[in-house]
Amino acid sequence: MNDVTAVILGAGKGTRMKSDIAKVLHPLMGEPLITYPVAACQKAGVGKAVVVVGHQGGEVKEALEKSAAGIGLKFAIQAEQKGTADAVMSAREVLGSAKGTLLILCGDVPLLRAETLVRLVGEHRANSRLVTVLSMEAGDPTGYGRLVRNRDGGLEKIVEQRDCDELALAIPEVNTGTYAVELPWLWRALDEVDSDNVQGEFYLTDIIALAAQSGGAGSYKLPDDNEAMGINSRLQLGEAARELRLRINRDWIERGVEIEDPFSTWIEPEVVLGEGTVIGPGCRLGGKTVIAEGVRVEQGSVITDSEIESGAHVKPYCVITGATVGTGAAIGPFAHLRPGAKIGPEAKAGNFVEVKNSELGRGAKASHLTYLGDTTVGEGANIGAGTITCNYDGVNKSRTTIGKGAFIGSNSSLVAPVTVGDHAVIGAGSTISKDVEAHALGIERARQRNIKGWTKKEQD
């Protein structure tokens, strides 16, 4: 495949998406649509890949350069979106005198597999064709170009949905928008394509009829029509996400991950999961999250760009972003770990506990209703219910340090910057703004008075 060049078309606006952002920038499982066909080309091992950008071209380029698929990519600009044939023409200069097989893909067909591209090129070359179109038998052919064949079954032309008569509309075999085509023949063919059709656009599909005239057109039919679904509407984007989710989930299940409900769990493409891990229904795992072996993530948890070590237990409905969770730690239910939260081994951040830019040492516990921000909690410390670290004075953020084995009584406020020493105790309900030394009791609250017969007096 190293001698194959790929062109991916992504200049169109995507009017049918009814959106301000270019279609190919719409996210599919967290990644812009265009990154998928580009990644498939890279995985197939093409020697060179060119993306044609136009509508919001700067943003498309930037999105690709940020993604793993963007490595070594070239770009061409289609100034005015005059159709798919014109889009390919725009890449002519960047391709220069390239010869041999060119793969053409649409930026809005995200589920194509690299292996399919390799097979398409194989089929194309084995038959010495000018062009081979990747086709499929669509369950619902609406919106796709139809493959029109002659009496002997030979491919004659592709007719776009809007240019179809009744007879052509009934054809189930459609164009996936993916082609293997020979250079420099393509440039000669494109020179002949006109815009004499319902949309007044230059259709790339017209090259099929031109190749067919010299017996050089053929097709390679995909067995699975989901693989080449084109995204032209938001509903189709949702359908593709469902398909991709199932594909990813099936993959993880085969590798020994237990996904309790593969139909409701979202695992984005870059997430890594360990064997024996269990993922509950409705979880969403995204970004560069890494979950080790034997972890249990229960229902409804959303984990993004985080690392969960082996044997940890994430109880239902936790939100974990940019955090690390150590071996055997227990999180939630309903915990919120924000960027920079580092939960040590065997530690606990329980219900309604929010942790930001803070470390909990081994075995430390914050079991209920707590905010820990910019805080270091030593090994084995216990943070009582309702503890708040007051890390922000309206201008600056300051740190709180809690020593090993310290015990913070319930409903305490620790006003940062402040340090509570090892094995110190804070009396419940205290507002601590001065450091407390190791092994001391820090207590700050008014003495309780009980006024005898007080309600009786009122009633008299």
**Binding segment toward Mg ion, per CB under 5 A, in 157-165, 225-233, 359-367, 368-376:** 225-233
User: What does the buried/exposed string (b/e) look like for 243-262 if buried means 16 or more CB atoms within 10 Å of the residue's CB?
Assistant: bbbeebbeebeeeebebeeb
Q: What is the DSSP pairing of strand 100-106 with strand 5-10?
A: parallel
Closest CA to 315 of 344, 284, 350: 350
Number of residues that bind ligand UD1 (CB under 6 A): 31
Parallel, antiparallel or unpaired: strands 100-106 and 388-390: unpaired
Contacted by 52, from ligand UD1, Mg ion, none: CB < 5 to 8 Å by type: ligand UD1
Q: Using CB under 5 A, pick the residue from 101, 132, 232, 277 that binds Mg ion.
A: 232
Candidates 82-90, 313-321, 322-330, 371-379; binding stretch for ligand UD1 (CB under 6 A): 82-90
Identity (one letter) of the amino acid at 430?
Answer: S
**83 belongs to the binding site for Mg ion (CB under 5 A):** no
32 in contact with ligand UD1 (CB under 6 A): no
Identify each DSSP E strand in 184-295 by its residue range.
Answer: 217-222, 258-259, 266-267, 272-273, 278-279, 284-286, 290-291
What residues contact residue 392 under an 8 Å CB cut-off, 6+ apart?
A: 373, 398
Please report how the helices 57-66 and 35-44 are oriented relative to each other, as an axis angle in degrees rounded to 10: 50
Task: Single out the segment in contact with ligand UD1 by CB under 6 A; choices: 68-76, 83-91, 296-304, 429-437.
Answer: 83-91
If the CB atoms of residues 160 and 298 are measured against ligand UD1, the closer one turns out to be 160
23's tokens: 């279609």
Residue 304's binding partner among ligand UD1, Mg ion, none (Cβ under 5 to 8 angstroms by kind) is none
Q: Is 227 in the site for ligand UD1 (CB under 6 A)?
A: no
Q: How far is the CB of 108 from Mg ion (least distance, A)?
A: 4
* Using rule CB under 5 A, residue 230 touches Mg ion: yes
162 vs 81: CA distance, rounded Å:
18
Question: Of how many residues is the chain composed?
Answer: 460
Contact flag: residue 24 with ligand UD1 (CB under 6 A) = yes
Residue with Cβ nearer ligand UD1 (29 or 240)? 240
Which long-range contacts link 331-340 to residues 24+ away (Cβ below 8 Å)?
332/298, 332/301, 333/298, 337/306
Q: Residue 158 Cβ, how far from ligand UD1 at the closest point, in Å?
A: 6
368 flagged as catalytic: yes
Interaction between residue 84 and Mg ion (CB under 5 A): no
Q: Does 230 bind ligand UD1 (CB under 6 A)?
A: yes
Whichever of 109 and 209 has its CB closer to ligand UD1, that residue is 109
Output the CA–CA distances (angstroms, integers) from residue 251 to 114, 178, 245, 283, in the order listed: 16, 25, 10, 17
Q: ω into residue 339 within 30 of 0, thus cis?
A: no
* Residue 411 near residue 394, CB atoms below 8 Å: no
Of the residues 55, 313, 368, 423, which is catalytic?
Answer: 368
Would you say 232 or 357 has its CB closer to Mg ion? Answer: 232
For residue 153, count CB atoms less than 10 angstroms from its CB and return exposed for 0-12, middle for 13-18, buried for 19 or more. Answer: exposed
Q: Taking CB under 5 A as the rule, which mask of x and - marks residues 105-124 in contact with Mg ion?
A: ---x----------------
Count of H-run helices and E-run strands, the chain? 10, 39
Q: Is the CB of 236 or the CB of 410 nearer to ligand UD1?
A: 236
12 forms part of the interface with ligand UD1 (CB under 6 A) = yes
Q: Is 158 in the site for ligand UD1 (CB under 6 A)?
A: yes
Among 204, 325, 355, 402, binds ligand UD1 (CB under 6 A): 204
- 10-18, 124-132, 295-303, 316-324 -> range binding ligand UD1 (CB under 6 A): 10-18
Query: What is the Cα Rg of the chain in Å?
Result: 30
Tell which positions 410-449 bind ligand UD1, by CB under 6 A: none
Regarding 160 and contact with Mg ion (CB under 5 A), the answer is no
Does residue 107 bind ligand UD1 (CB under 6 A)? yes
Q: Take residue 22 and report the two structure tokens written for it.
A: 């270019």
Q: Is 9 in the site for ligand UD1 (CB under 6 A)?
A: yes
* Choice between 236 and 411, CB closer to ligand UD1: 236
Angle subtended at Cα 169 by Cα 164 and Cα 171, rounded to the nearest 5 degrees: 120
In angstroms, give the least distance from the CB of 401 to ligand UD1: 54
Q: Tokens 């001065």 identify what position? A: 434
Q: Which residues bind to ligand UD1, rule: CB under 6 A? A: 9-12, 24, 52, 54, 78, 81-84, 86-87, 106-109, 144-145, 158, 160, 174-177, 203-205, 230, 232
Which residues are catalytic, by number? 368
Q: Which residues bind to Mg ion, rule: CB under 5 A? A: 108, 230, 232
